[in-house]
Amino acid sequence: MKSNKILIIGNLKQNPKNIKEALALTRHYSQLKKLAKNVELGIALPFIFLPAAQKEFGKGLPLYAQTLSDAKDGAHTGEVGAAQLTSIGIKNVVLGHSERRARGNTNEEIAGQVENALAENMHVVLCVGERARHADAEHINFVEKQLESALFGIKKTDAPNITIAYEPVWAIGAAATRAATENEIYEMTITIRKKLVELFGRTAGGDIRILYGGSVNTENCESLLSIHHIEGLLVGRASLDAKEMKSIILKAKK
């Protein structure tokens, strides 16, 4: 069944610079969680900080990895597998983030990552989003293809463990000039919902949560959350600022 809570995940990326700051920020998130009963809060930390954060805060706060291996195990230097993460209690992962795709993760590899994570019963936040908008609606086909290739062959029974994050690449990070507009987001969430229903059927596909990510901040979070089909936010830069995060949560709570 669909959760009626708003899901807000802070994606710390390759931040902060040390374990002390990472734990301080995670502590802050676990306190914020108590502020908003209708908000599910999560934090996506670099691998290196996950064991300590899990030990201290993992019981009360969902912690997310930022990627995982498309291989189950074996000779893959530098990779971390889904089973290794679950063995320390990490049950959530962000996959297919555009910054991972920019570093070479292909649709095919992301499909392998999704499959491995779901096989371990992890909750997967699958990121999709176009690099640019095209007058001929090529961006629609682009996102449809990302969804199809990542989710092809995934069983309907795994659908409750999937969340989609729509993150237009042009709206992400310091180089972005703005978040996407309501109309731009709405056009794509309709496309995403249609594809999910096609892949998993009306009930399972209709129940998958869709988040928006890309230049989310305290000024725009309310209007972003008011868009039909948007049921949460993936927050980058603002996730590192404890005060900004608190204000986003309080606004989302209304």
Q: In the complex, which residues of this chain contact ligand PGA (CB under 6 A)? A: 11, 167, 172-173, 176, 213-216, 234-237
Q: Compare residues 81 and 163 and give the one whose CB is closer to ligand PGA.
A: 163
HEC string of 96-120? Answer: CCHHHHHCCCCHHHHHHHHHHHHHC
Q: Compare residues 199 and 249 and give the one whose CB is closer to ligand PGA.
A: 249
Nearest approach in angstroms of CB 57 to ligand PGA is 21
Nearest approach in angstroms of CB 59 to ligand PGA is 26
C-beta neighbour count of 52 within 10 angstroms = 15
Q: Compare residues 128 and 151 and give the one whose CB is closer to ligand PGA.
A: 128
Amino acid identity of 66? Q
What is the C-alpha to C-alpha distance for residues 221 and 185, in angstroms, rounded to an integer? Answer: 13
Radius of gyration of the chain (CA): 17
Q: Compare residues 158 and 244 and give the one whose CB is closer to ligand PGA.
A: 244
Q: Compare residues 234 and 245 and give the one whose CB is closer to ligand PGA.
A: 234
Nearest approach in angstroms of CB 156 to ligand PGA is 28
**Annotation marks residue 167 as catalytic:** yes
**Annotation marks residue 97 as catalytic:** yes
CB within 8 Å of 190: residues ≥ 6 apart:
229
Nearest approach in angstroms of CB 33 to ligand PGA is 20
Q: Nearest residue by C-beta to ligand PGA?
A: 236
CB within 8 Å of 243: residues ≥ 6 apart:
none
| E strand residue ranges, the chain | 6-11, 39-44, 63-65, 92-95, 123-128, 162-166, 209-213, 230-235
Per annotation, catalytic residue among 115, 120, 130, 167? 167
Cis bond upstream, residue 51 (ω within 30): no
CB within 8 Å of 27: residues ≥ 6 apart:
56, 57
Nearest approach in angstroms of CB 137 to ligand PGA is 24
What is the C-alpha to C-alpha distance for residues 167 and 98, in angstroms, rounded to an integer? Answer: 8
Per annotation, catalytic residue among 97, 115, 130, 231? 97
For the annotated catalytic residues, the residue numbers are 97, 167
